[in-house]
Amino acid sequence: MKLAQGFTIPGPQGIPEAVAPPSSIPTALQGGASTGMKLLSLGITYFTIAGVMIALIVVIVSGIQMITSQGDAFKLASAKKRLMFGILGLVLVVGAFFIVRIVFTILRLPQDYLFNPTSLLN
């Protein structure tokens, strides 16, 4: 399959040079189902990492609130509630990731890219 005709560009000292088009689309740029799977896996990975980071930040902030509450019952209750929600969020994010892994396994989808974004560069 011929993609395009050759063309010329200005070369050194203004002499035109012929440029041949590529013979096919490079493998890295070819689309298809694997590109969608890579995008889905990458999205799942990044959302999982972001969710874990947010949950850990909430846990750390609630710990700081507990320390700085100075015996104030309202501040301490607020910090405990935030700590509970932070831990619950962490459990939900990790649980959702494992559910996705189970679904990928059941459907026999490739799991090469889950938590391995560097494999997408190949």
This prediction has a pTM of 0.62
Closest by alpha carbon to 2, among 34, 24, 33, 28? 24
More confidently predicted of 4 and 90: 90
More confidently predicted of 34 and 60: 60
Q: Give strand pairing partners of 17.
A: 9
CB 69 within 8 A of CB 79: yes
- Residue-wise pLDDT for 62-76, tens only, equals 999 999 998 899 999
CB 58 within 8 A of CB 89: yes
Q: Give strand pairing partners of 8.
A: 18
- Residue-wise pLDDT for 78-91, tens only, equals 999 999 999 999 99
Q: Where are the domains of the chain?
A: 33-111
CA 110, CA 37: separation in Å to the nearest integer?
Answer: 8
E strand spans, the chain: 7-10, 16-19
First to last CA, the chain: 25
